[in-house]
Amino acid sequence: MLYLTAIETFYQQSQALFDVSFSLEKGEVVSLLGRNGMGKTTTIRSILGLTPPRNGQITFKGRKIQGLSSFQIARQGIGFVPEGRQIFPRLTVKENLLVVAVHRQSAERSWNLQRVFSLFPRLQERRDQPASSLSGGEQQMLAIGRALMTNPCLLILDEATEGLAPLIRQEIWDCLSMLKREALTILIVDKDLVALQKLVDRHVIIEKGRTVWQGSNKVFSADLGLARRYLGV
């Protein structure tokens, strides 16, 4: 579904990615791991066209996407839950969900308000409240619900559980497990290695802007030296 080959990305003159290469097959859940500042967010920004790569190739569903605008890339079927949520604070919960549905892909099993509300019942209770009045956890649920309303083939989450209370975090992980059971393809960055290991099929490790290791969750979990060496845990 998604192929990155030898991606190089810069912030002005400063090179952040030197050689990032990995792929995601349909229905796979893959984590991007690495210490702080190693290039995980930049990899996501490169895929989404927010910081377009200078070299390398990215294909999504068989089509080259680098060079397209981030709007065009999103419309190919990539849903994004950014770090810090970035919902529309003055719109109600319902409006936040409906506003993105205008530009969405058609899908076999379309997302609608009812499906999002059954995934996150708290959002239903607060459907007519401004998004700014929600708790941090509820805002995160709204950000995920909003990404789902675009009917994505690929969902990308960057630090979706960051700063949330443990119970709310667990709700987000449960929701991601449910989406995995529905065979949604997911690329995720998160600091909670234990939760990631319960969810993902494969890990990709980035160090200093390069993919340095990738393999199954089984192999990763069996080799404690990997986490020690690349993640310092």
Min dist. Cβ of residue 25 to ligand ATP (A)? 23
- 40 part of the interface to ligand ATP, by CB under 6 A: yes
Say whether residue 38 binds ligand ATP (CB under 6 A). Answer: yes
Cβ of residue 107: shortest distance to ligand ATP, in angstroms?
A: 29
* Span interacting with ligand ATP, options 22-30, 35-43, 55-63, 106-114, rule CB under 6 A: 35-43
Binding-residue pattern over the window 164 to 193 for ligand ATP, x denoting contact by CB under 6 A: ------------------------------
23-39 exposure pattern, b = at least 16 Cβ within 10 A, e = fewer: ebeeebbbbbbbeeebb
Pick between residue 42 and residue 211 the one whose CB is nearest to ligand ATP: 42
Task: Examine residue 71 and tell whether it contacts ligand ATP (CB under 6 A).
Answer: no
DSSP code for 102 = G
Q: Sign of torsion, CA 178 217 195 36?
A: negative
Least Å from the CB of residue 38 to ligand ATP = 4
Applying CB under 6 A, the span of 31-39, 125-133, 140-148, 210-218 interacting with ligand ATP comes to: 31-39
Distance of closest approach, residue 167 Cβ to ligand ATP, in angstroms: 24
Confirm or reject binding of residue 203 to ligand ATP (CB under 6 A): no
Query: Should residue 39 be labelled a site residue for ligand ATP when binding is judged by CB under 6 A?
Result: yes
Give the interface segment with ligand ATP, choosing from 29-37, 121-129, 132-140, 173-181 (CB under 6 A): 29-37
Q: Which is nearer to ligand ATP, 138 or 159 (CB)?
A: 159
Six-digit token pair at 156?
């990308």
Q: Which residues of this chain interact with ligand ATP, rule CB under 6 A?
A: 11, 14, 16, 34, 36-42
